[in-house]
Structure 1
Amino acid sequence: MRSCVKAGTVKRVVLTSSTAAVSSRPLEGNGNVLGEDSWSDVDYLTAKRTGLWAYPVSKVLIERAATEFAAENGVSLVTLCPSVTVGEAPDRQVYTTVPAILSLLSGDEEELSVLKGIERASGSVPLVHVEDVCRADIFAAETAADGRYIVNGLDTTIADMARFLADKYPQYNVDTNNLSGDVLEKPIALLPSTKLEKEGFEFKYKMLEKLYENMVEYGKELGILTN
């Protein structure tokens, strides 16, 4: 951002953060709706130091530093907070969330524990397709007003994902019987993208079937899933 100020020709900066900077906080009861004014609780996370605590802390600190710098230097800043990203990447490397998203199909218990950690931290499994994230980046640069925007296509749960995948891909023998008590049946927190949609953005992927489209073939190419 210092380089942007120095150049003097940059009209807008788009920072891609994460909903991890929004939802990692103590949640009370059901029906929590977390909007752009919600922040993950850094004090709580650093005190607990459990699970993936450092990731949301880093996202909060980066966002706040960028916002402060933008305000002090007159920079137009738009911050996007995408949720857990699914979909194919251009290259064929294993990225952080892909094995976790496919863990119900692969049977990888270690990666499933990562997915469970996401659900515990977020109060749901919030998903967005990488194509929608890319489109939102362009929208933010060209159309959106300043500020923070949640980019989330769907709030679901591991239980719902397991039922969907068991029905859609019976060949992988997804176990739907041993999840009760260990995962959420329904989301206890929602991350709506109302602000983004009100400004004219339209998601292409808002259903599990669309979000998982091509993911199985992608998982096979990465060696995560068997043929």
Structure 2
Amino acid sequence: MNLNAENPEKEVIELAVSGTLNAMRSCVRAGTVKRVILTSSVAAVAGRPLPLGDSHVLDEESWSDVEYLRVTKAGGWAYNVSKVLMEKAARTFAQDSGISLVTVCPAFTVGEAPATIVHTSVPVILSLLTGDDEKIRSLELVDRASGSIPMVHVHDLCRAKIFLAEEEAASGRYICSSLDTTLAELATFLAAKYQQYNVNTDRFGGRPEKLRVCISSAKLIGEGFEFRYKVLDEIYDDVVNYGRSLGILPY
């Protein structure tokens, strides 16, 4: 997840598209792959100008606006663009080659992982506890640009991918997000639950507490999937312990 590329078009966007197509060509050549589960992101859903007001719902029919992102160059714009173009290239390839393709668009993925080195999502999701100003600004950017901070626990995301691999009728895109929150709500929750980290809630006093946008997983749920981690309290426990084990957070 390269947010600081010198040449985003080549280093982020072109690589995402060509790498995805290379993997799919290998699946076709193997002759044994029944379905490809492609991981995209809600970055391919919510990167677009939003109407005024609250309570907007974005689902699988929503696409981030590539031209808008390329013109405004809002933070992380190339990552959003790469996910859109990667998805669309993969879809065209799948149609032409006759391979079954299902795309999963996860929200901010929270929880513990086997990795002992982490670069982006985990430090950002823990930034209100660590006080890392640069990473907090990344959260602020998501909140401002998308109208919410959608989240999913990593265990639910893995279960969703297995579910969609095995569900014969699955097709197209699926958003995977079990919770929408705002930066103000998140800061208030973390300040109360993890008091030892002295979360600065005053910083977000002027930010809206009401959700402007809901990132909907209704399609995934409607086909029979059930999220196990649905509230902030459940979602954050693992990642806080993970951050402590990595030395990102003090005990």
| TM-score normalized by the length of structure 1 | 0.96
Please list, as runs of the form range in 1=range in 2, the aligned pairs for 1:100-139 lying within 5 A after superposition: 100-139=124-163
In the alignment, structure 1 residue 164 sits paired with structure 2 residue 202: no
Report the equivalent of 1:61: 85
The Cα offsets for residues 26-84 of structure 1, whole Å up to 9 and x where unpaired, read as 00121211010100000000001121100000000000000000111111110000011
Measure how far apart 1:165 and its partner are: 0.8
Residues matched between the structures, number: 226
Between Structure 1 and Structure 2, the one with more helix by share is 2
Separation in 1, partners of 2:242, 2:61? 35
* Structure 2 equivalent of residue 180 of structure 1: 205
Alignment partner of 1:219 is 2:212: no
CA displacement 1:181-211 (0-9 Å, x = unmatched):
2x33122111111100111111111100001
Q: Which runs of 5+ in 1 are unaligned?
A: none
Once the two structures are overlaid, the 10-residue window that deviates more, 121-130 or 54-63, is 121-130
2:116 aligned residue: 92
Cα distance in 1 for residues equivalent to 2:165 and 2:239: 28
RMSD: 1.1
Kept in 2: contact 1:154–1:206 (CA 8 A):
yes
> Percent identity, aligned pairs only?
59
Q: What corresponds to 1:15 in structure 2?
A: 38
For 1:66 and 1:45, the matched residues in 2 are separated by: 21
What does 1:23-62 align with in structure 2 at a 5 Å threshold?
23-29=46-52, 30-62=54-86
Q: What per-residue deviation string (whole Å, max 9, x for no partner) do you get for residues 116-174 of structure 1?
A: 11112221000011111111111111015111000001000111111111111111111
Q: CA deviation at 1:221?
A: 1.6
1:126–1:154 Cα contact (<8 Å) kept? yes
The answer as to 2:179 corresponding to 1:154 is yes
Q: TM-score, normalised by structure 2?
A: 0.87
Which residue identity does 2:36 align to in structure 1?
Answer: V
